[in-house]
């Protein structure tokens, strides 16, 4: 691989002159510039990005942390973020924390060592140390989807509680009074806000007394397997609900399978509604009614906000709350006139 010294020797100039041509840091005569560029082409010389970043204090690289790369919601967000970065002349370094707090901390250190220009973070859990770790990076940070208590970070998220209200009110408009909930992991802010919206909708309608709320709440860990297991548990209860609000689409897909295995029909016997509107939601059987997050807007806005801070065009933190929308498909229908009975055990 050719070095800057090889280029200087081929062009008959000093190493300093080659550096000025490559980095455009000082005027070089047209004749000298042409000799250097010709030598670069002939030798196929690639300038060291590390060296250039030390001079310019910029690597033209952004980092992104996500909690689970196997979740289609995050995959779809990453695609938008990466496209936006590429269009702006930046590369993206993606790190999957796999929902592990220790792994999140390690990746933050690795990204700091790479001298990235800015960072987009979907936090893992409710790590109280995350804000302190982010301050130690000394770089702009945009939080996406899950907020933490840090006044210095930008934030882009959907109104999760409002989305849950949309979902449960839709079920209630179809006559469902007995609405259960499959929530995500305990301590994940977005999940807790969706569960809170479900509780609020029940309280508003008087559908269930507050003391009964926990009896209608299951947890699925934001995975299809978790939704599958939670729905099987729901189907074994003595007083089975007529509808279930599931706090993300992956869990809802698992829940659909559990209902089919139980010999029941969606939505004739039980209605199911999800959250996120991943691409797969429109292709389940039946197609999944869900609350849509504006994923393209979320990803693009996160990159734009980060580049504002990276470029010094804004210093103060900015918080943006986007509104979800209801996508009605075939997995929700009117409640049966009589209360459903639990199957024989």
What does the pLDDT look like over 46-95, one tens digit per residue? 776 555 554 556 788 999 999 999 999 999 999 999 999 999 999 999 99
Closest by CA to 179, choosing from 218, 228, 146, is 218
How large is the average pLDDT for residues 153-165? 96
- Confidence at residue 125, expressed as pLDDT on a 0 to 100 scale: 65
Report the distance separating Cα 65 and Cα 255, nearest Å.
28
Between 192 and 49, name the one with better pLDDT.
192
Q: Does residue 168 contact residue 216 with C-beta atoms inside 8 Å?
A: no
Pairing type for strands 61-66 and 118-121 reads parallel
CB under 8 Å to 219, separation ≥6 — which residues?
182, 183, 184, 185, 186, 226, 230
User: Domain 160-293 is classified in which CATH homologous superfamily?
Assistant: Response regulator (3.40.50.2300)
| Per-residue confidence (pLDDT) for residue 301, from 0 to 100 | 97
Q: Is the per-residue pLDDT at 129 higher than 90?
A: no
Distance CA 260, CA 137 (A): 49
Superfamily of domain covering 61-159+294-323: Response regulator (3.40.50.2300)
**Mean pLDDT, residues 251-272:** 98
Query: 95 has which bridge partners?
Result: 65
At residue 327, what are phi and psi to the nearest 5 degrees?
-115, 100
> Residues in the chain, how many?
345
Architecture of the domain delimited by 4-56: Orthogonal Bundle (1.10)
For the chain, the structural domain boundaries read: 4-56, 61-159+294-323, 160-293
Task: Sheet with 319-322: list strands edge to edge.
Answer: 91-96, 61-66, 118-121, 141-144, 154-158, 319-322
pLDDT at residue 338 greater than cutoff 60: no
pLDDT band at 341 (very low <50, low <70, confident <90, very high): very low
Quote the pLDDT of residue 48: 64
Angle between helices 30-43 and 4-11 (to 10 degrees): 130
Percent of the chain with pLDDT over 90: 68
pLDDT digits (tens, 9 = 90+) for 68-77: 999 999 999 9
- Split at pLDDT 50, 70, 90, the class of 343 is very low
Distance of CA 214 to the CA centre of its chain: 28
Instruction: Identify the residue with better confidence: 305 or 205.
Output: 305
pLDDT at 171: 98
Query: pTM to 2 decimals?
Result: 0.82
61-66/91-96 β-pairing: parallel
Listed in sequence order, the residues at least 6 apart from 307 whose beta carbon sits closer than 8 Å to its beta carbon are 88, 90, 118
In this structure, of 99-113, 166-180, 227-241, 303-317, the range with the lowest mean pLDDT score is 99-113
Cβ atoms 291, 125 nearer than 8 A: no
Residue 102 pLDDT: 86
Tell which residue, 156, 122, 146, 162, has the closest CA to residue 320.
156
pLDDT at position 215 is 84
Please, what is the average pLDDT of the chain?
A: 89
pLDDT of residue 18: 87
Average pLDDT on 208-227 reads: 82
Q: How far is CA 174 from the centre of its chain?
A: 31
Same fold, 4-56 and 61-159+294-323: no
In 10 A of CB 2, how many CB atoms? 14
By 3-state DSSP, what share of the chain in percent is helix, strand and coil, each rounded to 5? 45, 15, 40
38 Cβ contact partners less than 8 Å away, ≥ 6 residues apart? 11
Q: Which of 8-12, 124-128, 178-182, 279-283 has the weakest average pLDDT?
A: 124-128
Judged against a pLDDT cut of 50, whether residue 4 lies above it is answered with yes
pLDDT band at 147 (very low <50, low <70, confident <90, very high): confident
Token digits of residue 129: 């140390």
């Amino acid at each position: 691989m050719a070095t800057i010294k090889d280029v200087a020797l081929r062009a008959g100039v000093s190493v300093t002159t080659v550096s000025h041509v490559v980095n455009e840091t000082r005027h070089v005569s047209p004749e000298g510039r042409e000799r250097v560029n010709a030598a670069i082409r002939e030798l196929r010389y690639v300038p060291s990005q590390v060296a250039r970043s030390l001079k310019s204090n910029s690597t033209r690289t952004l980092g992104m942390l996500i909690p689970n790369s196997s979740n289609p919601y995050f995959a779809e967000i990453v695609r938008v973020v990466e496209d936006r970065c590429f269009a702006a002349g930046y590369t993206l370094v993606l790190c999957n924390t796999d929902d592990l707090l220790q792994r999140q901390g390690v990746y933050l250190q690795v990204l700091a060592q790479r001298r990235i220009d800015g960072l987009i973070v979907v936090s893992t859990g409710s790590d109280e140390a995350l804000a302190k770790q982010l301050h130690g990076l000394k770089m702009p940070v945009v939080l996406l989807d899950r907020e933490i208590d840090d006044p210095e970070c930008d934030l882009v998220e959907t109104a999760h509680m409002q989305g849950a209200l949309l979902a449960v009110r839709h079920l209630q408009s179809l006559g469902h009074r007995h609405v259960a909930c499959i929530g995500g992991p305990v301590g994940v802010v977005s999940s807790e806000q969706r569960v809170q919206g479900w509780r609020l909708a029940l309280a508003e309608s008087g559908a269930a007394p507050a003391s009964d709320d926990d009896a209608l709440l299951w947890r699925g860990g934001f995975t299809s397997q978790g939704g599958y297991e939670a729905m099987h548990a729901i189907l074994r209860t003595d007083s089975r609900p007529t509808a279930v609000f599931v706090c993300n689409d992956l869990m809802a897909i698992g829940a659909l399978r559990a209902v089919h295995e139980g010999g029941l029909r969606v939505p004739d016997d039980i209605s199911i509604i999800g959250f996120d509107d991943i691409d797969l939601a429109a292709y389940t059987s039946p197609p999944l009614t869900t609350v849509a997050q504006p994923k393209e807007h979320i990803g693009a806005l996160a990159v734009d906000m980060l580049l504002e801070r990276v470029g010094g065009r804004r210093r103060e933190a900015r918080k943006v709350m986007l509104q979800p929308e209801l996508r009605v498909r075939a997995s929700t229908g009117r409640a049966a006139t009589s209360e459903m009975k639990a199957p024989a055990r």
